[in-house]
Amino acid sequence: MLQFENHGLKAGIWTGMLTAAQAPARVALVHLGEIVALANLSAAEGEGLWQVTVELPASFLSDGAHSLILIADGGQDGDAPQPDAVELDRLHLMAGAPLEYELVAEIKLMRAELDLLKREFRRLATFE
């Protein structure tokens, strides 16, 4: 069982501690189904502890919202993420002026979905 403890993002480097019986073959950062960076693993003090560091590509430090997923799998460098990859954690980056409009649009979408759910629950509650 893999367990990741997020230590945060500082100066473009995401760090954390991975607990695993043995180090996975690859720990990678994925965006939109593609691997954008590989993490470095180093043995930490304690049995089954691995220090994870991954440098975020500069292309993600731009206006808008980006979701990055840290995965562990058995793939090799250059391979696509494996179907049996384990999601360790997610990192959401948001920056810039367009962010305000994206958040407003997201809130409007969530309100519309909530209204739809309320209508359906009311319809089901009155259905006999």
Q: How far is CA 73 from CA 77, 96, 97, 126, 128, in A?
A: 11, 33, 36, 49, 50
Q: What is the pLDDT of residue 126?
A: 85
> How far, in Å, CA of 8 to CA of 86, rounded?
19
Identify the band that residue 43 occupies on the pLDDT scale cut at 50, 70 and 90: confident
Could you state, in order of their start, the residue ranges of all structural domains in the chain?
Answer: 3-96, 98-127
Residues 77, 13, 86, 3, CA torsion sign? positive
Q: What mean pLDDT value characterizes the chain? A: 87
Task: Check: pTM over 0.85? Answer yes or no.
Answer: no
Pair 73, 81: CB distance under 8 Å: yes
Q: How far is CA 5 from CA 10, 53, 88, 95, 98, in A?
A: 15, 12, 9, 24, 31
Q: According to the CATH classification, is domain 3-96 in 3.40.390?
A: no
96-127 pLDDT per residue, tens: 766 667 778 888 889 999 999 998 888 888 87
Identify the band that residue 94 occupies on the pLDDT scale cut at 50, 70 and 90: confident
